[in-house]
Amino acid sequence: MSIDGQYQRNSVLRFVFFVYNAARAPADSLPDVAAQVQILRDNQPVITTALKKIATEGVDLDRLPYAADLSLAGLPAGQYVLQVTAVDRVSKTSASQQNRFSIQ
């Protein structure tokens, strides 16, 4: 596990994020949020996942968790950015978060 943002080329990047207060219409329905993950190098995507619906079954609907892992195998050493985007399909809004990391 790396907490300093440095990974080996053959490692797997594991992460979790939460989507807070996703919209619901009507108010008693379930949220409809999808996530997309990108790894960028020099502001260009080198890995992009398909949009994936975030599960709502058995979770706190005000705090939707999403976890994933991405293989770093095949990526050359250097500086990268992990970008996660959540798309709220009810409110038709999105939010992104970025985190820098390096591959040794």
| Domain-wise residue ranges, the chain | 6-103
- Residue spans of beta strands (DSSP E) within 11-61: 12-20, 33-41, 44-48, 52-53
CB atoms within 10 A of CB 96: 11
Question: How confident is the model over 45-68, as pLDDT tens digits?
Answer: 999 999 999 999 999 999 999 999
Question: Does the pLDDT of residue 73 top 90, yes or no?
Answer: yes
Q: Which DSSP letter does residue 49 get? A: P
Question: How confident is the model over 6-39, as pLDDT tens digits?
Answer: 999 899 999 999 999 999 989 889 999 999 999 9
Pairwise pLDDT comparison (28 vs 2), residue with the higher score: 28
> Is 6-103 assigned to CATH 1.10.3720.10?
no
Residues 6+ apart with CB under 8 A from 34: 51, 52, 53, 54, 86, 87, 89
Are residues 54 and 32 in contact, defined by beta-carbon separation less than 8 angstroms? no
pTM metric for this prediction: 0.90
Question: Does the pLDDT of residue 5 top 90, yes or no?
Answer: no
